[in-house]
Amino acid sequence: MKTGCCLSEHQCKIGVLVSGRGTNLQSLIDASREGRMAAEVSVVVSNRANAPALDRAKKAGIPGFVVNAVKGETKEAFEKQIGEIFNRHGVNLVVLAGFMRIVSPWLISRFKNRIINIHPALLPSFPGLSAQKQALEYGVRLSGCTVHFVDEGCDTGPIILQTAVPVLDTDTVESLSERILKEEHKLLPKAVDLLAKNKVKVTGRRVEILP
């Protein structure tokens, strides 16, 4: 089925979930304001009050919120707070941009085929944490990044776009991570643009990019 995440190119509002520096958030903000992406960042939510990503949102004039996970609280209770924020800001596409929490079925069901994630590996290889370290330890000659739909698994959702990055003999985790990150900054806005223009068709686990 066609994702249909946005009613038109001018009504695609993104809610971005962050935990850290927010460089991928910045790539979305820049792409939107430079006309390279037919969507706008409507709101940013972090589970960490000291996340630099919130400063990026503030500088760009985008509302930013902190939702703290309370010990003993269910994931659903935590995500209901996020869902309420997204509803208030008209969000119809959710982007995980360095969000260091597993999203539960509760939020996934409310944004079916409208939650995407950027991962620093060529999925299905090296899911989860420390993907760059995994790639180096395995000895692959190619790594890269993947934008995929979020499902109930860990980095297991249908793949939308990927970009390959060569692994050099001299690479460290830091150098490989930095080179992959540069490609993430290009790939994520491109994927969002396709979704905003309703050019992504999902059939089961198969994703087709429409002309």
pLDDT in tens, 22-53: 999 999 999 999 999 999 999 999 999 999 99
To 10 degrees, the CA torsion angle through 22, 163, 125, 119?
10
Residue 129 confidence (pLDDT): 93
Amino acid at 92: N
Residues marked as catalytic: 119
Q: How confident is the model at residue 6 (pLDDT cuts 50, 70, 90)?
A: low
- Over 50: is that where the pLDDT of 192 sits? yes
Q: How confident is the model at residue 9 (pLDDT cuts 50, 70, 90)?
A: very low
Residue 204 confidence (pLDDT): 87
The 3-state secondary structure of 39-89 reads CEEEEEEECCCCCHHHHHHHHCCCCEEECCCCCCCCHHHHHHHHHHHHHHC
pLDDT in tens, 102-133: 999 999 999 999 999 999 999 999 999 999 99
Q: How far apart are the first and last CA of the chain?
A: 15
The closest alpha carbon to 62, from 16, 5, 23, 7, belongs to 16
Lookup: tokens for 198: 């309703």
Domain 9-202 in CATH 3.40.50.300? The answer is: no
Residue 5 confidence (pLDDT): 58
Extended strands (E) in the chain: 13-18, 40-46, 64-66, 93-96, 115-119, 142-149, 159-166, 200-203, 206-209
Residue 1 confidence (pLDDT): 44
pLDDT in tens, 138-152: 999 999 999 999 999
pLDDT in tens, 57-102: 999 999 999 998 888 888 899 999 999 999 999 999 999 999 999 9
159-168 mean pLDDT: 98
Q: Using an 8 Å Cβ cutoff, are 130 and 169 in contact?
A: no
* Sign of the dihedral defined by the CA atoms of residues 35, 36, 37, 40, in that order: negative
174-178 mean pLDDT: 98
Residue 198 confidence (pLDDT): 95
